[in-house]
Chain A
C-alpha cells in the first residue's frame, strides 16, 4: 500500500507539471486553432531565468516571478511577430512556424545557459512522511498550484464574458467579429495565458525535475499528449489528461518496467488518436461540419 501511495504521489506531482503545459496547449488551440509547439520551451526558459535570477541574489519568489513574466512577454511577442502577421493561419502552418521558433529558442538557451541542467531552490516547506509515504513539500506545491491555476483558467474560459468571447472566436470567427470581438486580440490574450501557464510549470518543476536548454522537448511532448487526451480544446480535459498521464507513467514504471516510462505517453497518444480523436475525457459531440 505504501508503494502504491508513493507511486501515486510521484505520478500526481509530475502529472501536475504535464497538466500545466497541457492547459497551455489547450488555451491557445481553443481560441485560434494554433498548435503552439514552444509550450515546452516556455517552461524550460522560465526555470532557467529564475535560476539565474536567484543566483544573482534575487529572493526566490521574485526570481520565480521574473521567470514567469519573461515567458509571458515572450509568448506575447511570438503572437505579435510570428502568428498575427500570417493572413490565413492553419493548424499545420502554425505547427511549422512554432517548431521553428522552438528550435531557435532552444539554441538561444544553449548559448546562454550552456548544456548542463540545473534545479531552482525548492519553495519553502518541510519534507515529511505520512503513512509510510515520503512527501516532498515541492510535490505539494506543484499539485496545489496546478489545481488553483486550473480552476482559475477554466473559470475564466467558461464563466467570464472575456473568456466566452475567446472561445467564440474559435467556434465562429466571423460571427464573433460581427459581435464586436477582436479575433486578433483574443489570440494575443490566449498566448499570454499560455505563457503564464508554461512559466508557472517551469518554475514549479525546476526544483524537482530540473531545467535545461532541452528539457522543454520532453515536457512539451508529454504536455501535448495530455492535451490530446482531453480533446485539445478543453482546459479541464487537459488538466485531467496531465494528471492521468503522470499517474499511468509512474505506475507503469513501478509495477511493470522502469524502461517503459517514456513509452507510455506515446502509446497513449496513438491509442487516443485512433480510437477517440476528440479526447477520452470529453463527451462525444455531434459531428462538426
Chain B
C-alpha cells in the first residue's frame, strides 16, 4: 500500500514539474525579455455604445504598428499589437485586461471611454502594468501611478465652456449629459469653474450612451429656459440629442463637448448641427490652422496618412490613439520594455507634440493637457469651422 501511495505522490510531483516547466517555457515567449518583439495590448470599445470611438482608434493603431514595423521597429525589435473588443462594457474591459496581464504584454492602450477605462485601471495598478487610456474623465488617472491618458480632461473642456459663456454674458446653463461615467461630475465641475463669474447649471438631464429617443430630456431643457445649453455625450447619441434640440425649436444657443469630433456626428446631426459651439481638439480643423501652430505639421501628416490608408478623415478619437501609441513608442525607444522605467519615462514626458495637444506630464498630472489643447469650433454646412472669436 505504502509503495503505491509513494508512487502516486511521485507521479503527482512529476506531473507538477512538467506543468511548471510548460509554464516556464511559455514565460520566455512573453514580452518581458529585452530582445524579442514588444507586446502592446489594445482594449477598445469597438462594438456597442462606444463604436464610433473604438473603430477609428483600432484603425489608427493598426496603421501605426504597420508603419513602425515596416520601418524596422523599435531599436530592431518588432511591435506586436493585440486588439481586444470590450463591447463597451465594464466587465468586458476588465476581462480583456486580465487576459492582457496573463499574456504579459509590456503596455496596454485603452479603453476608449471613461467607464471601461476605470474598470481597467485597478487591474493596471495592482499588476504594475503601464496603461494609456483614451478617455476624458479625470477620474481615470486621478491619483494613479501606472495609468496615463491622452484625451483632454473634462475640466479643460469645461474651462473653455465657461470662458465662452463669460464672453457671451451667459449666466445659466442647462445640461443634458451622458449617464455613463463620461458624464459624471460635469455639472459639479462646471459649477465650481463658473462660480467666480456667476455661471451655474440650472438643470441636469441624463441620457443613456446608446439612447435614440431624446424628447423627454429636451422638453425639460426647454422648460429650464437657461441662457445656453450644453449637450455632453458621444455620437450617435450626442447627434440625435442635437437633432431633437433643434426640432423642438429651442432657440437658446447650444454647446457640445469634445466627444463629438468625428464624421459620425456630422452625418447623423445633419443641418441640425449648424451653429453649435464645441471645444474640440485641433485635428478636425487641421487645414484651417495658422502655419505657425506647433501641431500643424504633426496633424497634417497624420490626416494624410490616415486618408491614404482608409480613404476617410480621422476623428479626434483616432488622434487620441495616435498620441497613446507614439507616447508608448517614445518610451520603449528611450528605456526599453522594463515596466518601471516605461512608467517613469511617461511621467516625465515634456512638450510632446501630439494630435490632441502638446503633452507635459507630471507625477500629479497624468493627462498632460490644459485648456489650450482645445479650440472652439462650430459647424456650418456639415463642415467643422474654427469658431469666430
A and B physically associate:
yes
Which residues on A are within 8 Å of B, measured CB to CB? 3, 6-7, 9-10, 14, 110, 114-117, 119, 127, 129, 134, 136, 208-210, 212-214, 250, 253-254, 257-259, 261-262
Residues of A contacting B55 in the complex (Cβ-Cβ under 8 angstroms): 114-116
A210–B236 alpha-carbon span in the complex (Å)? 9
B248 touches A7 (CB 8 A): no
A-B interface pairs (CB < 8 A), number: 72
A116 touches B264 (CB 8 A): yes
Residues of B contacting A3 in the complex (Cβ-Cβ under 8 angstroms): 219, 223
18 more A-B contacts (CB under 8 A) besides A7-B216, A250-B213, A254-B216?
A7-B219, A10-B216, A14-B213, A114-B51, A115-B46, A117-B51, A117-B236, A119-B268, A134-B249, A136-B247, A210-B240, A212-B51, A253-B217, A258-B179, A258-B205, A258-B216, A258-B217, A261-B211
| Residue B189 at the chain A interface, CB threshold 8 Å | no
Tell me the residues in window 222-269 of chain B with beta carbons closer than 8 Å to chain A beta carbons. Answer: 223, 236, 240, 247-249, 264, 268
B48 touches A262 (CB 8 A): no
Nearest-neighbour CB distance to chain B for A158, whole angstroms, equals: 32
Tell me the residues in window 11-58 of chain B with beta carbons closer than 8 Å to chain A beta carbons. Answer: 46-48, 51-52, 54-55
A258 touches B268 (CB 8 A): no
| Residue B208 at the chain A interface, CB threshold 8 Å | yes
| Residue B297 at the chain A interface, CB threshold 8 Å | no
Residues of B contacting A9 in the complex (Cβ-Cβ under 8 angstroms): 215
B47 touches A214 (CB 8 A): yes
Residues of B contacting A7 in the complex (Cβ-Cβ under 8 angstroms): 215-216, 219
A261–B179 alpha-carbon span in the complex (Å)? 12
| Residue B207 at the chain A interface, CB threshold 8 Å | yes
Knowing A115-B47, A116-B264, A117-B51, the reply to whether A262 touches B208 (Cβ < 8 A) is: yes
| Residue B362 at the chain A interface, CB threshold 8 Å | no
Residues of A contacting B219 in the complex (Cβ-Cβ under 8 angstroms): 3, 6-7, 254
Residues of B contacting A209 in the complex (Cβ-Cβ under 8 angstroms): 212-213
| Residue B206 at the chain A interface, CB threshold 8 Å | yes
Nearest-neighbour CB distance to chain B for A105, whole angstroms, equals: 15
8 contacts between A and B (CB under 8 A): A7-B216, A115-B46, A115-B48, A115-B51, A258-B207, A258-B216, A259-B179, A259-B208
